A and B are shown apart, each in its own frame.
Chain A
Amino acid sequence: MDNTLFFTYLIIMAGTTYLIRAVPFSLIKGKIKNRFVQSFLYYIPFTVLACMTLPSALYATDSILSAAVGLLAGMIAAILGRGLLTVSIISCVFVFITELIMNFIK
């Protein structure tokens, strides 16, 4: 692609993406006292994650079944107190095993 065009676009793209993150992060210095806003900010990490995970995660692997098995295995491991990395690996392994079995059956 033409360099002038590329860099014009890149600056707009990277500039917008950077500012939308860094400006609120840098300018909000104090603790927010408003109870509603505090509650909103308490729930937002969980809702962001939940929305990104379902239903998208079901379509992340080669089959919905393997994805569901992987997620379920991860969920059980997490509730039993395993850490992030362990849970993540358990999910991958269960997807892998499920797909191996599915390939074998086919």
Chain B
Amino acid sequence: MSAVNDFKKGLKLGVPIGLGYLSVSFTFGIMASDLGLYWWQALLISMTNLTSAGQLAGVKLMISPGHYIDMLISQLTINMRYSFMAISLSQKADSKLKGIYRWLLGFVITDEIFAVASAEERVTRSLMTGLAIVPYIGWAMGTLLGAVLGNILPGIIMSALCIGIYGMFVAIISPRAVKEKPILITVITAVALSCLFYYLPGLSSLSSGISVSICAVVSAIIGALLFPLPDVKEENNG
């Protein structure tokens, strides 16, 4: 597939992510301005971080001085999952996605962009660039609108938009889980763990970023132990 087609394909795939981000970051914008940040500060945070759980935890620490180490530790733990995603994605990257492109595009590895990119056979730099554009704009615009305007969209529209991003996740998981039993069982394990962390007192006090990291890693380890991939002797694409 040509670079232009890859780019266009990425752009299109990014639309539901962008819509989802718009509504999530809208909430972040409202929260940041409630905590006393200026609109441009909230916007700047979103444009330089591009992450939901980390930003929410971050602004809560920001409002009082001296929490520099706390900030470092909270960002490291909440965002640890991105490292696993980055490693996973590095295995699918095609030969042209290297060097400076990795340093640049590494910035846009979010849960959702990762998920959509890894559903592709090969991840090219054009695809990933295209894929990141709408979500990035959505994330920034949503924050700005939330910080400046507060709640303007009717509740029922906001509510419906909020499911969009999850609809996309379902679209990635379901067809594969129906076809491949190992994926189905691993996914069920993941959901069970995730529910445990959500509802069990004590565990539920963990930030959502940390619980997602733990549950996803543990269930993927279980999946890898129960259903290891067939041994591939030689790489067929060098």
Contact = CB atoms under 8 A, between A and B. Distances in A.
Nearest to B238: A31
Nearest to A69: B163
Contacts, number: 309
Interface bracket on B:
35 or more
Contacts of A13: 45, 48-49, 54-55, 58, 62, 71, 75
B146 to A, nearest CB: 16
B107 A21 contact: yes
B207 interface: no
- Secondary structure of the B side of the interface? helix
Given A39-B227, A78-B175, A71 B37 contact: no
A95 B163 contact: yes
A20 B53 CA distance: 15
A51 B195 CA distance: 8
B216 A47 contact: yes
Given A22-B102, A99-B156, A79 B216 contact: no
B61 to A, nearest CB: 7
Contacts of B61: 9
B82 to A, nearest CB: 4
Given A52-B212, A74-B174, 9 more contacts: A9-B68, A13-B49, A13-B62, A18-B48, A28-B90, A48-B115, A54-B191, A83-B171, A84-B172
Interface of A: 1, 5-6, 8-10, 12-14, 16-18, 20-26, 28-29, 31-32, 35-57, 60-62, 66-67, 70-71, 74-75, 77-79, 81-85, 87-93, 95-96, 99-100, 103
